[in-house]
Amino acid sequence: MVSAELPDNWQELLAGYILGNLSDDEALIVDRLLNEHPHLLQEVEAFQTSFDSLATTVSLRQPSDQLRERIRAGTQAQLSPTKRRLNWIAGMGGAIAATTLLILGWRIATLNTQLQQANARIETLERDLDQANLQAQTVQPVLNTLQQPGTLIYSLQGSDRANAASGSLVMSAQNNQVIILVQNLPEPPSGKIYRLWAKVPTENTLAYCGQFNPNAQGFVKLTPSANVCGANPTQMLITIDAITDPTTRGGPVIMQSRT
């Protein structure tokens, strides 16, 4: 069975449904619409919420019983058919005004929801942009180094002490600069630090190149402490050492390049 399309005045009908001022025929139309379009129940709830808010905001003060009787007596004595028609029109105007206020409140609530959703999307986009900027700050130095002549690139892999760690090392002898990108390298314990070493064919011992702690993105940029580090090392190694340890030899190997 194909559902009928919604009439143009469906919002007014739902508002009247909440206010209780529909005719019998209009009430039957609303019942049929709710059966054919179950999603309208959410609109009814939204209308009801708006109506409750309006009822809370605009509190009506009832006149006393004595004053009400005096008003009724004076009005009935002067009431004419013309005035009855005017009163009926005024009553209709009040119902229309109430319906309009209810629809307006519902639309404002809908716009507020859409605004909150848009603000949430903006916050997500801003976070993504900040993350992209951080990545650009990490990648750009690597690209600059790769463009230099004589650049060396090493692939790093974790030892048994950090078997999930991996990364790359880019060395520019011309700029005397080393850039390290690592993943899954744990933060060293308190009092410890990572140190970089180079295995050079002309040296009998490892050459100390510097020490570091990677940032949250696993990025390291340092200037080697010895020129020999850029003399075409056959292997690069990363050890973990106490900050107070001498730099004459390294501690346990954490990562190393393939030989």
Question: How confident is the model over 179-204, as pLDDT tens digits?
Answer: 888 999 999 999 999 999 999 888 88
**pLDDT band for position 82 (50/70/90)?**
very low
- Residue 253 pLDDT more than 90? yes
Q: What percent of the chain has pLDDT over 90?
A: 23
Give me the chain's average pLDDT, please. Answer: 76
Percentages of the chain per state (helix, strand, coil), in multiples of 5:
50, 20, 30
Q: Which residues contact 156 (CB under 8 A, 6 or more apart)?
A: 165, 166, 167, 168, 169, 180, 182, 236, 238, 255, 256, 257
Provide the pLDDT for residue 5.
78
Looking at the chain, list the stretches that DSSP marks H as alpha helix, in order from N- to C-terminal side.
10-19, 24-36, 40-57, 65-78, 81-146
Q: Is the pTM of this model over 0.85?
A: no
Count of other CB atoms within 10 angstroms of residue 243? 11
Amino acid at 147: Q
Q: Report the C-alpha gap between 237 and 181 in whole angstroms.
A: 14
Beta-strand relationship, 253-257 and 151-158: antiparallel
Contacts of 66 (CB under 8 A, 6+ apart): none
Q: Categorize the per-residue pLDDT at 86 as very low, low, confident or very high, splitting at 50, 70 and 90.
A: very low
At residue 94 the predicted structure's pLDDT band, cuts being 50, 70 and 90, is: low
CB 36 within 8 A of CB 3: yes
Q: Check pLDDT > 60 for residue 79.
A: no
**What is the pLDDT, as a whole number, of residue 220?**
87
Helix, strand, or coil (residue 161): helix
Query: Per residue in 108-130, is it b (16+ CB within 10 Å) or e — as a string?
Result: eeeeeeeeeeeeeeeeeeeeeee
Question: Is the distance from CB of 225 to CB of 209 less than 8 angstroms?
Answer: yes
Least confident of 18-27, 103-112, 214-223: 103-112
Neighbours of 75 (CB within 10 A): 11
Q: What is the pLDDT of residues 122-146, one digit of tens each?
A: 887 777 776 666 655 555 565 555 5
Is residue 66 pLDDT above 60, yes or no?
A: no
pLDDT of residue 18: 74
Domains within the chain, CATH numbers bracketed: 10-124 (no CATH), 148-257 (2.60.40)
